[in-house]
């Protein structure tokens, strides 16, 4: 990733959007770009985040577009508490501990649960799908006393229902992050309780729009930090997030979709004073 940033700087790119999965590796490449007059925006991850939720960015980027990751972890902790009211052992699976896009989620959840008396295990699953499933199953088989299984990345989340079924623990509460198809299928089937949505479309679209506006304005329209949201998807509201829409990745067709029931139906209007 850092090599690609350096290559973009050498090529004189008009702008760079990148995920800052840690601060130390990216400080020099981002500084090189900014010093060359190339605007840099981070999305999805914004460097390291301390266990108190305070970002340690270390990079002179223009803004961050993405979910408030530590906060999303705290909300995961609150949801776990609602599913498992009695302080108990729980496991939270994570692909790559220490990376800036998922470690803050674990830290946020742990900051809620540990003070309440929950025992929280952080278990690495790696980034290889077959290994993720095997690692989840191995932990569950060796820890039959856990009261719930959760994850802070999309792939580990998607395998939770299968891992629990194949270890005879399907009754345990489970959930995690993102809207990969298998996770949505599991929620529809009732084998996964929830997933947390962070709006990946906006995380790709807004940096592109911000870089465009920054360039055509000669830098007079600096982009703002943008929280792309935090919402829980459950079996109840799943239809709102599982439409045939290019914004969800299920089709590339350009079309307007009917508004979900309850959405604002008045025409868009603008005013000025």
pLDDT, position 125: 97
Taken in order 77, 194, 180, 237, the sign of the CA dihedral is negative
Q: Which residues pair with 150 in a beta bridge?
A: 92, 175
Residue whose pair of structure tokens reads 């803004």 in the numeric block: 63
- The 10s digit of each residue's pLDDT in 235-266 is 999 998 888 888 877 788 887 767 766 655 55
- The 10s digit of each residue's pLDDT in 1-59 is 999 999 999 999 999 999 998 878 899 999 999 999 999 999 999 876 666 666 666 68
pLDDT, position 264: 55
CA distance 273 to 264: 24
Whether residue 90 contacts residue 169, with contact meaning beta carbons closer than 8 Å, is answered with no
pLDDT over threshold 80, residue 167: yes
Surface-to-core class of residue 174, CB atoms within 10 Å of its CB (0-12 exposed, 13-18 middle, 19+ buried): buried
Q: Which residues pair with 94 in a beta bridge?
A: 124
Domains 2-67+200-229 and 69-197 share a fold: yes
Parse the chain into domains and list their residue ranges. Answer: 2-67+200-229, 69-197
Cα–Cα distance list, 273 to 7, 267, 270 (Å): 46, 20, 11
pLDDT, position 123: 98
Look over the chain and give the mean of its residue pLDDT values, rounded to a whole number.
Answer: 91
pLDDT, position 47: 77
**Among 92, 103, 96, CA closest to 50:** 103
pLDDT, position 254: 80
pLDDT over threshold 80, residue 180: yes
Give the whole-number percent of the chain exceeding pLDDT 90: 77
Give the confidence band of 64 by pLDDT, cuts at 50, 70, 90: very high
pLDDT, position 155: 97
Q: Is 213 helix (H, G, I), strand (E, B) or coil?
A: helix
Give the confidence band of 187 by pLDDT, cuts at 50, 70, 90: very high
Residue whose pair of structure tokens reads 């906060």 in the numeric block: 71
Tokens encoding 70: 């530590």
pLDDT, position 120: 98
pLDDT, position 246: 83
- What's the CATH architecture for 69-197? 3-Layer(aba) Sandwich (3.40)
Tokens encoding 185: 């299928």
| Helix axes of 2-10 and 27-35: crossing angle, nearest 10 degrees | 10
Pick the CATH number of 2-67+200-229 from 3.40.50.150, 3.40.50.2300, 3.30.420.40, 3.20.190.10: 3.40.50.2300
pLDDT over threshold 80, residue 81: yes
């Amino acid at each position: 990733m850092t090599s690609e940033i350096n290559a973009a700087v050498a090529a004189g790119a008009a702008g760079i959007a990148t995920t800052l999965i840690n601060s130390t590796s990216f400080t020099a490449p981002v500084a090189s770009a900014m010093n060359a007059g190339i605007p840099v925006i981070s999305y999805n991850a914004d460097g390291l985040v301390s266990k108190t939720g305070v970002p340690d960015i270390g990079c002179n980027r223009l803004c961050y577009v993405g979910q408030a990751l530590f906060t999303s972890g705290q909300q995961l902790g609150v949801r776990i508490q609602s599913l498992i009211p009695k302080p108990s052992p729980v496991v939270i699976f994570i692909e790559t501990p220490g990376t800036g896009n998922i470690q803050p989620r674990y830290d946020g959840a742990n900051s809620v649960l540990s003070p309440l008396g929950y025992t929280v295990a952080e278990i690495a699953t790696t980034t290889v799908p077959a290994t993720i499933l095997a690692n989840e199953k191995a932990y569950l088989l060796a820890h039959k006393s856990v009261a719930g299984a959760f994850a802070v990345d999309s792939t580990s989340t998607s395998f939770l229902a299968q891992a629990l079924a194949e270890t005879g623990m399907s009754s345990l509460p489970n959930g995690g992050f993102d809207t990969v198809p298998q996770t949505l299928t599991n929620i529809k089937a009732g084998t996964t309780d929830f997933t947390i949505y962070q709006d990946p479309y906006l995380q790709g679209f807004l940096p592109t729009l911000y870089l465009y506006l920054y360039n055509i304005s000669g830098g007079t329209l600096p982009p703002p930090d943008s929280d792309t949201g935090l919402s829980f998807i459950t079996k109840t509201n799943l239809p709102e997030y599982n439409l045939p829409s290019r914004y969800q990745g299920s089709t590339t067709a350009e079309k307007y979709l009917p508004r979900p029931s309850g959405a604002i139906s008045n025409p868009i209007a603008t005013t000025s004073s």
